[in-house]
């Protein structure tokens, strides 16, 4: 499928963005009832069991140890990056931190692809630049008070998320389903480690009263959407240029905002509206 059309890559990237954006929306609602890391742990646990059953019932051949390790590493370091990201959001203005993290998430696979495959066409370069601008605009808010520590942690999380996208692409060479499964296993280990460290430190990510009603439901929904988004992204990165799939998939904050507009009747700021418009322009450029 190396000759797949750019439109197919964009369609899969948009599918990943929609699923990841929905996952963040569900996780955000669930976080009103329970600590975010606990929600992520619930989603990882249930989706890992489901993926193991699916792979077993389908009789999929187990990949070589190299691909297994890549998947485990992708999930593990992605989970730790998520914990760092939550800590960064707690320490500073969410908008500034999220914008920095989002841009770096897309920048790492772009840099990797350029180093390994060379420069894409001029139109794709323009689309990638527009996508980066759209991510920053969509995530940015007018909040103030971000500390250098929060920015450093946000940058570290962004690099971690970007590395995860690269590792997922490499792991998927041994089979997308098993890559999703091993990544989920590594992610569960990482989340459990983050929970243990957070609880030991008395961190507010795990403290507070937990209302069980709706807790597991939202955690599992977020986990299922996230895992499906990983699969869509790996398919996109596998049939075309990875940087295109990664950039389109990284537009997922726009989906979260759209869901908040439709379901929660929230009103986006002018930066978010501009960011979604620039994102559409990036999609048009990258689909040519």
Tens digit of pLDDT for each residue in 99-140? Answer: 777 888 888 988 898 888 877 778 888 878 887 887 777 766
Q: What total number of domains does the chain contain?
A: 1
Q: What is the CA radius of gyration of the chain?
A: 18
The verdict on residue 144 lying in a domain is yes
**Measured CA distances, 144 to 97, 151, 211, 253 (Å):** 10, 12, 31, 20
**How would residue 181 be classed by pLDDT, with cut points 50, 70 and 90?**
very high
Residue 182 is assigned to a structural domain of this protein? yes
Q: How far apart are the first and last CA of the chain?
A: 18
Helix segments in the chain, DSSP class H = 6-30, 36-58, 65-91, 94-117, 122-139, 148-171, 176-200, 215-239, 242-249, 252-264, 270-286
| 251 domain residue, yes or no | yes
Query: Is 1 inside a domain boundary?
Result: no
Residue 193 is assigned to a structural domain of this protein: yes
Domain that includes residue 18, residue range: 6-286
Q: Dmax over Cα atoms in the chain, in whole Å? A: 53
What tokens does 126 get? Answer: 């323009």
pLDDT digits (tens, 9 = 90+) for 49-99: 999 999 999 999 999 999 999 999 999 999 998 888 877 766 655 556 677
CA distance 13 to 16: 5
């Amino acid at each position: 499928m190396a000759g797949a059309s750019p439109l197919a890559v964009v369609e899969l990237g948009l599918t990943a963005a929609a699923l990841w954006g929905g996952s963040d929306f569900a996780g955000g609602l669930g976080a009103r009832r329970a600590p975010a890391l606990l929600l992520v742990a619930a989603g990882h646990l249930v989706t890992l069991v489901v993926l193991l059953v699916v792979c077993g019932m389908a009789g999929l051949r187990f990949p070589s140890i190299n691909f297994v390790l890549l998947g485990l590493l992708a999930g593990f370091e992605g989970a730790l990056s998520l914990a760092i990201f939550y800590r960064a959001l707690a320490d500073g203005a969410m908008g500034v931190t999220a914008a920095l993290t989002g841009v770096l998430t897309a920048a790492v696979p772009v840099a990797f692809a350029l180093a390994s495959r060379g420069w894409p066409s001029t139109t794709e370069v323009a689309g990638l630049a527009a996508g980066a601008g759209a991510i920053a605009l969509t995530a940015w808010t007018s909040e103030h008070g971000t500390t250098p520590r929060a920015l450093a942690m946000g940058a570290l999380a962004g690099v971690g998320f970007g590395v995860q996208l690269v590792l997922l692409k490499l792991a998927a060479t041994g089979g997308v389903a098993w890559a999703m499964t091993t990544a989920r296993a590594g992610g569960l280990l990482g989340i459990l480690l983050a929970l243990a460290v957070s609880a030991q430190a008395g961190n507010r990510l795990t403290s507070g009263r937990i209302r069980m009603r709706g807790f597991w439901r939202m955690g599992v929904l977020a986990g299922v959407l996230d895992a499906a988004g990983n699969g869509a992204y790996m398919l996109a990165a596998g049939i075309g240029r990875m940087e295109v799939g990664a950039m389109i998939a990284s537009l997922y904050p726009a989906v979260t905002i759209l869901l908040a507009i439709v379901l929660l009747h929230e009103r986006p700021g002018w930066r978010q509206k501009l960011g979604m418009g620039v994102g559409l322009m990036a999609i048009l450029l990258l689909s040519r």
